[in-house]
A and B are shown apart, each in its own frame.
Chain A
């Protein structure tokens, strides 16, 4: 039985359609199932960010549509869309992920506060998440007191906090050294394995690609290849669309 979380349907995105049109995505078709650990790769300017933004409901396609668990994102407007993101999509950005004046603990708590989760449950959840990203000892540290890798782990914990359908991460390791990048990927992999959390992230870092079980390659706004690697320990159902 397939459980499609992300369904991108013949989607195109053209910037500046009136002036100098830039076709950032051209007729992209893509399915992501629950539990996948997928990377979108491609050279700079190939459309990775554009694709992730569209899937995350941060941008609207010029044509085509995105369905998240059957819900058409283009049909959601304003606060409905914001609420949908809040409850269904976890985001990890390349930079500016955290609120600088809040501690690691508070950064994670903040999103639960937005969801209106009561104090006691918030506390339990935040502590649990901090443990999952191995940052229990950094609970009271502000972003400036943490390394880039630690900050990205807090961002992952925050993305995970509302138990979203999937987590989108646009070049999450771009600013990290090798060890921190490996560590972040270890944690994401573990969450994928233990929590069945679906991950979709972009990168142009070859080391990151090796860790993925499915690699989608973008070039000039088009998917030029989509390959799955059967995991020996795991029954991944990644498939070519």
Chain B
């Protein structure tokens, strides 16, 4: 009966209720959709970079990240190898030996990032290896390299050509060698494409006089293992002399960009909700003014102020819940649609995205957490707005109200 009463009260002024509910619905829709796009885009981007090359967690010798030189490498001993093997069910490890080097062919030369790596593990755990565009992968012991598409273009090289590498090895030794190019690969970011040269780990160690040494150990969770638990395991294995880094530290520009964008989204939704709050309050004020004589009558015949206040709060919440439901339903439709058919960015914007290593699509991601938060905020606003009629109820005198 009380619910029926509240419900009918809301429909006293059909148009006003519809306008208020749809403004709530619209803002909830907008907020959820915006957050879903933001989450979708960033998660897509992060997963892209993490899943293709960086991995969620990397282990280096302490201090390596600040000064990325080969002397900050650490020994990849047999005992370390076998202790990593213990986790082969839950964590994939990829050893890499990375250093800056000069790559040249004929007259042309260019600074490059040499990545000596276990190509089999890369293939097992990361997806950049899926984009071999020309040639074949070198065998584990082969004195050969795979080039990023960009650097190959700049040096005018292709599969079958020869590349000369020249640089500094471990402990200041001279590193120089001539390598057969077995293939080209297209990497997920343009920067990587322009710099990376891959070589089997053993060949790189030989070139750099860094036998059984690596600079980086990438750790990848397998079979739905949480990154959190991977981190715990890794932290227990690698103690003082190592630095364990997660993706926000590995990709600082991106994580800052996400933070800034998240703040922008919050500001935007904040303004949106402020407008909604005023609209809501206005509706309740009009409603209060219209029904004042009736409230006076109800109080006179024996309805307590507290009961009346509860009734009005209930009506306000009901109104907001209606709007919230509609907003959620609407945004669910839109978000799901765009999750299946992501917007593809064309033209210069798309290119700009690619430049930053973003895949030029705008996917969405439905997140229950976002929905709960947005719905909660709106209901909270409704609840706060209801304070106005509630307070005026407590100031109301029966006979004055009933006179109008």
B399 touches A59 (CB 8 A): yes
- B116 in contact (CB, < 8 A): no
B398 touches A158 (CB 8 A): no
> Which among A107-115, A145-153, A210-218 touches the partner chain?
A107-115
* Cβ distance B189 to chain A, nearest Cβ, rounded Å: 63
In the complex, chain A residues whose CB is within 8 Å of the CB of B1: 106, 109-110, 113
In the complex, chain A residues whose CB is within 8 Å of the CB of B5: 99, 101-102, 106, 110
Using known A-B contacts A93-B402, A109-B1, determine if residue A85 contacts B9 with beta carbons closer than 8 Å: no
A56 touches B300 (CB 8 A): yes
* Cβ distance A169 to chain B, nearest Cβ, rounded Å: 13
A86 touches B8 (CB 8 A): no
Output the nearest chain A residue to B302 by Cβ-Cβ distance. A86
Output the nearest chain B residue to A158 by Cβ-Cβ distance. B301
Output the nearest chain B residue to A119 by Cβ-Cβ distance. B1
> Which among B128-136, B255-263, B289-297, B332-340 touches the partner chain?
B289-297
- B175 in contact (CB, < 8 A): no
In the complex, chain B residues whose CB is within 8 Å of the CB of A85: 300-302
* Distance between Cα atoms of A113 and B301 in the complex (Å): 12
In the complex, chain A residues whose CB is within 8 Å of the CB of B299: 82
- A53 in contact (CB, < 8 A): yes
- B404 in contact (CB, < 8 A): yes
Fill in one digit per residue for A82-107: 1 if any B CB lies within 8 Å of its CB, else 0.
11011100010101110111100010
- B12 in contact (CB, < 8 A): yes
Number of interface residues of B (CB under 8 A): 25
Output the nearest chain B residue to A122 by Cβ-Cβ distance. B1
In the complex, chain A residues whose CB is within 8 Å of the CB of B302: 82-83, 85-87, 111, 114-115, 162
A91 touches B304 (CB 8 A): no
B303 touches A114 (CB 8 A): yes
Number of interface residues of A (CB under 8 A): 29
- B307 in contact (CB, < 8 A): yes
- B298 in contact (CB, < 8 A): yes
In the complex, chain B residues whose CB is within 8 Å of the CB of A95: 293
* Distance between Cα atoms of A110 and B8 in the complex (Å): 14
In the complex, chain A residues whose CB is within 8 Å of the CB of B300: 56, 58, 85, 91, 93
* Cβ distance B51 to chain A, nearest Cβ, rounded Å: 58
In the complex, chain A residues whose CB is within 8 Å of the CB of B398: 58
* Cβ distance A162 to chain B, nearest Cβ, rounded Å: 8
In the complex, chain A residues whose CB is within 8 Å of the CB of B301: 85-86, 91, 111, 114, 158-159
* Cβ distance A111 to chain B, nearest Cβ, rounded Å: 6
Fill in one digit per residue for A46-63: 1 if any B CB lies within 8 Å of its CB, else 0.
000000010010110000
A96 touches B12 (CB 8 A): no
> In the complex, which residues 213-257 of chain B have their Cβ closer than 8 Å to any Cβ of chain A?
none
* Cβ distance B307 to chain A, nearest Cβ, rounded Å: 7
Output the nearest chain A residue to B295 by Cβ-Cβ distance. A96
B399 touches A53 (CB 8 A): yes
* Cβ distance B13 to chain A, nearest Cβ, rounded Å: 11
- A233 in contact (CB, < 8 A): no
Fill in one digit per residue for B266-302: 1 if any A CB lies within 8 Å of its CB, else 0.
0000000000000000000000000001101111111
| Partner of A93 from B8, B9, B12, B297 at Cβ < 8 Å | B297
* Distance between Cα atoms of A101 and B14 in the complex (Å): 13
In the complex, chain B residues whose CB is within 8 Å of the CB of A79: 304, 306
* Distance between Cα atoms of A115 and B5 in the complex (Å): 17
* Cβ distance A74 to chain B, nearest Cβ, rounded Å: 16
B399 touches A96 (CB 8 A): no
* Cβ distance A21 to chain B, nearest Cβ, rounded Å: 18
* Distance between Cα atoms of A115 and B301 in the complex (Å): 11
* Distance between Cα atoms of A93 and B42 in the complex (Å): 64
In the complex, chain A residues whose CB is within 8 Å of the CB of B306: 79
* Distance between Cα atoms of A85 and B301 in the complex (Å): 6
A102 touches B8 (CB 8 A): yes
* Cβ distance A163 to chain B, nearest Cβ, rounded Å: 13
* Distance between Cα atoms of A114 and B299 in the complex (Å): 11
> In the complex, which residues 107-140 of chain B have their Cβ closer than 8 Å to any Cβ of chain A?
none
* Distance between Cα atoms of A34 and B139 in the complex (Å): 112
| Partner of A114 from B305, B307, B402 at Cβ < 8 Å | B307
Output the nearest chain A residue to B292 by Cβ-Cβ distance. A96
In the complex, chain B residues whose CB is within 8 Å of the CB of A59: 399
In the complex, chain B residues whose CB is within 8 Å of the CB of A96: 293-294, 296-297, 402, 404
* Distance between Cα atoms of A100 and B297 in the complex (Å): 12
Output the nearest chain B residue to A86 by Cβ-Cβ distance. B302
Output the nearest chain B residue to A113 by Cβ-Cβ distance. B1
In the complex, chain B residues whose CB is within 8 Å of the CB of A86: 301-303
In the complex, chain B residues whose CB is within 8 Å of the CB of A113: 1-2
5 nearest A-B pairs in the assembled complex, by CB-CB distance: A86-B302, A101-B8, A96-B293, A58-B399, A58-B398
21 of the cross-chain contacts (CB-CB < 8 Å) are A53-B399, A56-B300, A58-B300, A58-B399, A82-B299, A85-B300, A85-B302, A86-B303, A87-B302, A91-B297, A93-B297, A93-B300, A93-B402, A97-B297, A99-B5, A101-B12, A102-B8, A110-B1, A110-B5, A114-B302, A114-B307
- Contacts A82-B299, A86-B303, A114-B303 known; list 10 others, CB within 8 Å: A59-B399, A85-B300, A85-B301, A91-B297, A99-B5, A99-B294, A101-B11, A110-B5, A114-B307, A159-B301
